[in-house]
Amino acid sequence: MAQCKVWLDNYAGQYYPGSQIQGKVILNFNSQTTLRSVKIRLACREHTEWMGEESYLDPLTNERRDRQVLLQGDNDAFATELILYGGQTGTTALSAGQHIYPFNVTLPFDIPGTFNCEHGSVSYLLKAVVDRPMAFDYEDEIIFLVTALVDLNMLQKPELLESTSYSDDKTLCCWCCAEGPISIDVELPKRTQIPGETVNITARLTNMSNTNIEGVELKLKQKITCKVLYPSPDENLIENILISIDEVGLGAHGEHTYIFPVMLPMNVMIPNFTKCNLFSVDYKYKIVAKLPGVHSNLEIDMYPELGNIPIGQISGQPGGYPTAAAYPPSGEKGYQPHLAGPQGDSNPPYPQQGPPAGFVPPPGAVSVYPPAVPSAPPLNGDEQGFNSQLPPPSYDSLLSKK
């Protein structure tokens, strides 16, 4: 029986762009094994899928019909391969026993973050492969998380910090008679925003018509576009309303200035789709003056850029990620979810050492550490047979015991 396992030495629940991935590939062979190479493959994979319809020609009736079909898309936003032993061609052999091959791979800085939604995912996969000629390969793989903040400095658009103005107007008509105009002027102090920041958007509404405006609302919408490639290209949208603010309306022949304090919540999800082909994200402020009856609303659309790191923030580390001291030392063993190899063996061939301080495996994960040996805590003073609250014995009581 042969066994191939991949192990991460410095995984503490997530990596960042620019992180070093340190680990090892551990092989156990019961006999001499012929192989071409031992290598690892690191990839950031996009995958999308949903059910759709396609048109086809029915050969029996010679008519066009529709049928349900699975639409899918796959793309590697980033991929690399590192040979740890052997080469691309030729063969070599490894003796029976255990063989350990350490590796060190650095993630690029311009990579997307891990993402999951109902239509697909962006995930990072590390696979160890024993490439065997004329035989099935031995493989083991793990999926890990990458947190990639959105740095607005990477846009290289300082003009996003400038104030911009938007305006629109319309004239209402009733039985072919034109009323006075309705106009709205909006000022956006800047076109960037980060979680926790408040942007005050000013809207001046003028109503010279005979119709009351029922209300004014502002919404910040997030639109995530997911794409599939085969059997035919298609798109699916996910829309999230991040902020919604409602204000009172405005009567006929009136004028009012609204100030919308738009505060982006700290827990809002801002996905990073750098280098992704199947996913993209856009944001939109939408201000609507609601009109009654058959009249269409008066609307203003603005397109900001949302991120985690504001323009002008200088960080010692690229992208504002934790410094090297914030990562666990290479000697500590971070959590690595165990996946069975091709032979289905569930006994990890790793050194059976205890977990680092503070280690808590995710729910449902199989622990690769041996059970801790129970030990009793040291006894306190009360449990050692005396009460520290009692007063000391008197001199007379000691004499009476003689």
Residue 396: its pLDDT value, please? Answer: 55
Q: pLDDT-derived band of residue 89, with 50, 70 and 90 as boundaries?
A: confident
* DSSP type of residue 152: G
pLDDT value at 228 more than 70: yes
Residue 393: its pLDDT value, please? Answer: 53
Could you tell me which residues come within 8 angstroms of residue 19 by beta carbon, excluding any fewer than 6 positions away?
106, 107, 146, 321, 327
CB burial string 351-367: b at 16+ within 10 A, e below: eeeebeeeeeeeeeeee
Residue 293: its pLDDT value, please? Answer: 84
Residue 177: its pLDDT value, please? Answer: 58
Residue 226: its pLDDT value, please? Answer: 98
Taking each continuous run of H as one helix and of E as one strand, the counts in the chain are: 1, 20
Structural contact between residues 280 and 120, judged by C-beta atoms closer than 8 angstroms? no
> For the segment 50-79, what is each residue's pLDDT rounded down to a tens digit?
999 888 888 888 889 889 999 999 999 999
Q: Which helix (H) or strand (E) is 399 found in, with range?
A: helix 395-400
Residue 253: its pLDDT value, please? Answer: 93
> For the segment 250-287, what is each residue's pLDDT rounded down to a tens digit?
999 999 999 999 999 999 999 999 999 999 999 999 99
pLDDT value at 330 more than 60: no
Residue 56: its pLDDT value, please? Answer: 85
Query: What structural domains does the chain harbor?
Result: 2-149+321-326 (2.60.40.640), 152-306 (2.60.40.640)
pLDDT value at 399 more than 60: no
Most confident of 179-188, 221-230, 334-343, 355-364: 221-230
Rounded percentage of the chain residues whose pLDDT exceeds 70 = 77
* DSSP type of residue 396: H
Backbone angles phi, psi at 70, to 5 degrees: -85, 120
> For the segment 358-396, what is each residue's pLDDT rounded down to a tens digit?
333 434 433 333 444 333 444 444 444 444 445 555 545
Q: pLDDT-derived band of residue 350, with 50, 70 and 90 as boundaries?
A: very low
pLDDT value at 83 more than 70: yes
> For the segment 157-180, what is each residue's pLDDT rounded down to a tens digit?
999 999 999 999 998 876 555 578
Helix %, strand %, coil % of the chain (to 5): 5, 50, 45
